[in-house]
Amino acid sequence: GAAEVAAAGSAVKREAEEAVTWPEGTPAPYLVIARAFAAMESTTKRLAKDNIMAEMFRGILRCSPGDVVAAAYLTMGKIAPEHEGTELNVGGSIISTAIREATGVSRQKLHALYNELGDPGDVAEACRHTQTMLIQPAPLTVRGVFKSLHSMAQQKGAGATARRRQTILHLLRSCRDCETRYLVRTLVQNLRVGANWRSVIGSLARAVLLESEANRPAKARLDAAATAAVEAFHVCPSLDILVAAMLEPGGVENLDTRISLTPGVPLKPMLASITEGVADAIQQLQGQHFLAEYKYDGIRAQIHLHKNGDVRIFSRNCEERTSSFPDVADAVRSAAAGGCKEVVLDAELVAVDREKANELKSFQELSTRARGAITSLEVKVPVCVFAFDCLYVDGESLLKQPLQERRKRLAAALPSLRPGFVCLAQSHAGTEALIREHLQDALAAGTEGLMLKALTGPSATYQPSKRSNSWLKIKRDYCEELRDSLDLVPIGAWHGNGRKVGWYSPFLLAAWDPDAEEFQTVCRCMSGFSDAFYAQARPGMMHPHAMLISFHRIEGPRPYYSTNERPSVWFEPTEVWELRGADLTLSAVHKAAFGLIHPTRGVSLRFPRFVRLRDDKRPEEASTPEVIRCHILPHRLIIVFML
C-alpha cells in the first residue's frame, strides 16, 4: 500500500531528472518519452511543460528523425488521426490481467491498490516493484511501442483478446523505470501529463526550428513557428502530413503554402459564438454585411466527394460516419452532377418526414436512426442535407475566401438540388429590420433559430476549429434563460427517493478542462428526464439500447474528478449530455471555471434540465471552463454562496 506508492513516487521523480541518451541513427528509446512525461507531471507550469516536450523532440530529431511522428502521436496519447477511427480496443480487464501476470500481484492486492490510487498507471507502477525477471527483455523503443499499439488495434476475430493481452504482457515485462506508469496510461488513453494536441504540435515546431539553426532563434520566431504549425494542423489534422512538411526544406516557415485542405482528411469545423438575442447579435455585426441563415436541428456533417465518385461523411469530431448514411452519399453525388468533380461541404443532416412534404423533424427523431453500417434500403429515418458552406472545390481550397464567395461556389458546385434530399441552407439578406421576422420564420419551419454570418471582410473567412465572432447564433430561449446549452459529462449520481426509488436521481454533471486534464463538476440534475429514461437508468443497467445511455460504475472518484460533491455512486466519463438552465452561479461546491470568475469559487448551473444525449461528442469534447465563462455576462451572474 503506502510503501509501494511512496517508493513509486520517489522513483518517478528521480528518473524524471535523469537524462536519456542513445546513439545517433538508432531507434529512440521509449524511456525518453516516459522521462519527459514524468518531468511534465512534476510541474504545473505550462511553459515548463512545453519546454520539456520541445527538448524531447529535439533529441529525437537529432538522433532518430524517423521516430518523430510516432513520438508525437504517443505524446498526444493517440496512435492515428481521429478520422481513421483506429481504436485500441483494450478493456480494463485485459490490462488488469496483464499487470497481474507481469508482476505476480494477487487479484486482491491489485484491487486494493486500485482503490487506494485510482489511476491505472499509478497502480501498475506500484506493482512493478514486485516484478522479478531472470532475463531482462530488450528495452522498449518508441517505434516498437507504436507498432505494438497498432497491432493491438488491428486484432480481429477469434483469439483477438488473448493476442492483445500477450502484447500488453510483453510490453509490461520490457518496461524500465517510469515506463510502466505511462505505458498503462497510454493503454487507457488518459496520460494526465498536461499535453494536448496544441501544445504537442507547438513544442514540435519549436524543436524543428531550434534544430535547424545554429544560433537560437528569437522567442518571437519560436512562438510564430508554433502558431503556424497549429494553424496548419487546423487545416489538415494529420501528423504524418504535418511532420513531413516541417522536415522538408523550409521547415516551419511558410507552412500555410505547403499544407492545405486535403479531401479525405476532415478538419474540425468552425463554430458560432453565443449571443443574448437579436439586438446583441446585430450590435456585434454592426457595420458588416451579413446573412441570416436557418440554424437546423440535426447532425453537423462534413461531406467529402472525391473525383472517383467516392463520398466520405465525417461528424463534427472527425469520426467517419459514411456507412451510417448511404442515402446522403447517393444524394450528394446526384446534386454535384454537372457542377463539380470534387468538393468538401459543411452541412447539417436533418431528419425529414417524406409523407408530409419533407417537414423537418427534431434531432430526437434523427437520434433513433441506426448508428452502424446500413444500406439505402434499410434507412428508417430519412434525412435532408442542408449544405451551408463550401470549403474546397476541384483542387482549390476556399478557406481563405469570404463567405460571400464560398456561397457562390457552393451553389455552382451543387446544381442538381433536390428538395428534401439536398438543399442549400435557407438564408436571407441580413438587415436589422428583418432579423426578427426571419427568426420567427425559422422557428415556424421547425429549426432552432438563426445563424448570423459575416459575408465580407477579413473575418468572413472559414476558421477551422475556432469559435468565431463572425458567426453568431440566436435561439428562441436566449432572452428567457441561459444563452446556450452546456454539454456536460455524467460522473456520478445519488440513489433516488420517493417515486424515483430504485433509480439514479439526481446526476452529477461535469465540464472538461483540457489544460488541467480533469472533469470539473457544474451541477446536479434531476429534471428533463422522461419515465422511459428512468426505466433505463436503474442501478445495474449497463447497456440500455433505446437512448444509448450507459452507466459504468466505478469504486470511487477518479483522480481527475474535481468536486466537493460526494454522490452515492461514481461513473466512468463515457457520455455527453446537453443541459439547459436558468443561469449560472458562483459556487463553493462545484469546481468548473474555478478562479476564472472568482478567485475562490467555481461556477454552477441553476435549475438544470436534461435536453438530450450528445452521442456525436466524446467526453473530452464537453463544454470547457472557457466556454462556461463565455456564457456569463456580469449583470447576469447570480451570486449564491450558500448552496
d(CA 485, CA 449) in angstroms, rounded, equals 14
CA distances from 484 to 13, 192, 286, 627 (A): 44, 30, 22, 10
Place of cell 456536460: 488
CB burial of residue 303 (10 Å; 0-12, 13-18, 19+): buried
Strand partners, 271: 467
Place of cell 456525436: 616
271: helix, strand or coil: strand
CA distances from 34 to 105, 377, 463, 581 (A): 23, 51, 35, 43
Residue 107 near residue 547, CB atoms below 8 Å: no
Active site residue 617: no
Instruction: Outline where 581-635 has alpha helix (H).
Output: 625-631
Nearest to 74, CA basis, from 7, 17, 148: 148
Residue 476 near residue 580, CB atoms below 8 Å: no
Residue 54 near residue 207, CB atoms below 8 Å: yes
In one-letter notation, the amino acid at residue 318 is C
Measured in residues, the chain has a length of: 643
In one-letter notation, the amino acid at residue 32 is V
Q: Which of 295, 361, 591, 617 is catalytic?
A: 295
The backbone torsions φ and ψ at residue 310, rounded to the nearest 5 degrees and listed phi first, read -65, 145
Residue 254 near residue 611, CB atoms below 8 Å: no
196: helix, strand or coil: coil
Active site residues: 295
